[in-house]
């Protein structure tokens, strides 16, 4: 296996980007990531993107997004209809084949312009669930209720997670929601989808993210402290909500084992938990103890650009390690309702 390192990361996130289209959002992010990596754009061996045509409201939207990257001279390019974390996985595989020694990974999404609830309902079982038109907040509320009944956790536990996340996000310029608050203040909010109040749900966010990865040999010449991908894996569970135990995430557990989460001490974890109760499920699946800091960036509860949130988790973790704020971290990405598909990436700063 070839050692692969993350050499640069850039992102943007706002609650509303109605004044700019996807290409305009993406261009400065890609430019920043490419300039920071130290590799001329035309020398990057592979390009892979993650986005959703449903979210963009048009077919082959990723083709239009190439305007933000530049396809001349001709490039080797691919796309996944997934969060950008899965595009990073494909790029990692591409480097493993020996065909290339570097790759640009980017993803983007705008949630604010359309009916996000309708878009999300279309990703559910088309025969039995979609005709009911439940959004992800609704099915996440069912998941939270099941978790409360199975574990004895409650609304206060979710509010405590939100308080911590917002406090951590104060140092994150890309956070949509941040600031000091109290558990009591959050519990006084009106109910959104019982038992979830607004603070336990992700904010609507538009944005993009970009990462450049390269072989460790190449990365050593580019950055002062390379951040190596020590392990990466992803797993999927059935789409039908009734065929799985929503209070557990065996796909995350399996992916974590394959990625080698427990082959060393973990300093912190960036978990894509769009709903507060999902952090509890993910911590259990990855067996992260109380000593592991969770989402020092604030996480998806504070900024949630659909199709880019998972890649942001990996980028945030890598950036922190590159600054020397720890030696080993876990990054997690998810796609689909109720943690259906999960990716785990173990990072180590050298």
140-330-81 Cα angle (round to 5): 55
pLDDT for res 263: 95
Range list of H helices, the chain: 22-37, 53-56, 61-65, 84-96, 116-121, 136-151, 155-168, 183-187, 216-219, 250-259, 276-286, 309-322
Q: pLDDT averaged over the chain?
A: 94
Distance from C-alpha of 74 to C-alpha of 261, rounded to nearest angstrom: 38
Q: What is the pLDDT of residues 194-217, one digit of tens each?
A: 999 999 999 999 999 999 999 999
pLDDT at 159: 98
The residue behind tokens 């310029």 is 173
* Cα 344 from Cα 347, distance rounded (Å): 10
Instruction: Quickly state the pLDDT bin for 10 (edges 50, 70, 90).
Output: very high
Q: Could you tell me if 3 and 344 are in contact, meaning their C-beta atoms sit under 8 angstroms apart?
A: no
What is the distance between the alpha carbons of residues 179 and 34, in angstroms, rounded to a whole number?
Answer: 32
Tell me the pLDDT tens digit for each residue of 269-287. Answer: 999 999 999 999 999 999 9
Q: Which residue has the higher pLDDT, 158 or 70?
A: 158
Task: For residue 120, give both structure tokens.
Answer: 């999300």
Write the pLDDT tens digit of every residue in 41-78.
999 999 999 999 888 777 888 888 888 888 777 889 99
User: For 204-231, what is the mean pLDDT?
Assistant: 96
Q: Which residues share a beta bridge with 328?
A: 348
The predicted pLDDT at position 63 comes to 86
Distance of alpha carbon 216 from the chain centroid: 23
Q: Is 62 helix (H, G, I), strand (E, B) or coil?
A: helix
Provide the pLDDT for residue 54.
82
H or E stretch at 333: strand 328-335
pLDDT exceeds cutoff 80 at 309: yes
Angle subtended by helix axes 250-259 and 276-286, to nearest 10: 50
Please name which of 6, 3, 2, 14 lies closest in space to residue 331, comparing C-alpha atoms.
6
Q: What is the DSSP string of 236-297?
A: E--SSGGGS-TT--HHHHHHHHHHTTTSS---EEE---SSHHHHHHHHHHHT--TTSEE-TT
Q: Given this model, what pLDDT does residue 283 score?
A: 97
- pLDDT of 105: 98
Statement: residue 229 has pLDDT above 80: yes
pLDDT of amino acid 206:
94
User: How far, in Å, CA of 177 to CA of 163, rounded?
Assistant: 11
Percent of the chain with pLDDT over 70: 100
pLDDT bucket at 177, cuts 50 / 70 / 90: very high
Q: Which residues are paired to 50 by β-bridges?
A: 80, 107
> When comparing pLDDT for 143 and 60, which is higher?
143
Q: Average pLDDT for residues 323-342, to the nearest whole number? A: 96
Q: List the structure tokens of 24.
A: 């305009």
**Is residue 15 pLDDT above 80, yes or no?**
yes
Task: Please answer whether residues 49 and 309 qualify as being in contact, where contact means their C-beta atoms are separated by less than 8 angstroms.
Answer: no
The predicted model gives 166-187 an average pLDDT of 97
Tokens of 99: 């065909």
- pTM metric for this prediction: 0.96
Omega before residue 73 within 30° of 0, cis? yes
pLDDT score recorded for residue 195: 97
pLDDT band at 111; cut points 50, 70, 90: confident
For the cut 80, the answer to whether the pLDDT of residue 328 exceeds it is yes
Contact by Cβ (8 Å): 126, 132: no
pLDDT at 33 over 90: yes
- 195 cis-preceded (ω within 30 degrees of 0): yes
Q: Is 70 exposed, middle or buried (0-12, 13-18, 19+ CB in 10 A)?
A: middle
Whether the Cβ atoms of residue 45 and residue 73 lie closer than 8 Å to each other:
no
Phi then psi for 26, rounded to 5 degrees?
A: -75, -35
Residues 108/211, Cβ–Cβ less than 8 Å: no
């Amino acid at each position: 296996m070839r050692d692969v390192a993350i050499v640069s990361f850039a992102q943007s996130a706002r609650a509303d980007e109605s004044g700019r289209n996807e290409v305009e959002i993406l261009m400065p992010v890609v430019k920043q990531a490419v300039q920071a990596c130290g590799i001329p754009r035309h020398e990057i061996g592979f390009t892979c993107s993650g986005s959703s045509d449903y979210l963009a409201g048009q077919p082959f939207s990723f083709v239009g997004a190439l305007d933000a990257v530049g396809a001349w001279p001709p490039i080797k390019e691919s796309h996944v209809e997934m969060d950008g974390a899965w595009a990073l996985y494909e790029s990692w595989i591409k480097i493993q084949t020996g065909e290339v020694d570097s790759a640009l990974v980017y993803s983007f999404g705008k949630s604010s312009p359309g009916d996000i609830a309708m878009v999300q309902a279309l990703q559910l079982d088309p025969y039995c669930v979609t005709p009911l038109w439940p959004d992800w907040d609704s099915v996440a509320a069912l998941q939270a209720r099941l978790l409360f009944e199975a574990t004895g956790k409650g609304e206060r536990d979710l509010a405590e997670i939100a308080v911590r996340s917002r406090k951590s996000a104060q140092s994150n310029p890309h956070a949509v929601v941040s600031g000091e608050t109290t558990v009591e203040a959050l519990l006084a909010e009106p109910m959104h989808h019982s038992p979830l109040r607004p603070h336990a749900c992700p904010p609507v966010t538009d944005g993009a993210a970009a990462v450049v990865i390269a072989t460790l040999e190449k990365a050593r010449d580019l950055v002062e402290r390379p951040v190596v991908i020590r392990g990466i894996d992803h797993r999927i569970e059935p789409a039908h909500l009734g065929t799985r135990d929503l209070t557990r995430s065996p796909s995350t557990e399996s992916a974590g084992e394959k990625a080698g989460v427990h082959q060393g001490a973990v300093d912190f974890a960036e978990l894509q938990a769009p709903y507060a109760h999902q952090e509890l499920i993910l911590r259990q699946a990855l067996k992260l103890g109380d000593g592991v800091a969770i989402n020092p960036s604030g996480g998806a509860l504070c900024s949630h650009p659909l199709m880019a949130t998972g890649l942001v988790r990996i980028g945030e973790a890598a950036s922190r390690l590159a600054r020397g704020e720890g030696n080993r971290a876990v990054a997690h990405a998810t796609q689909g309702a109720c943690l259906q598909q999960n990716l785990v990436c173990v990072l180590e700063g050298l």
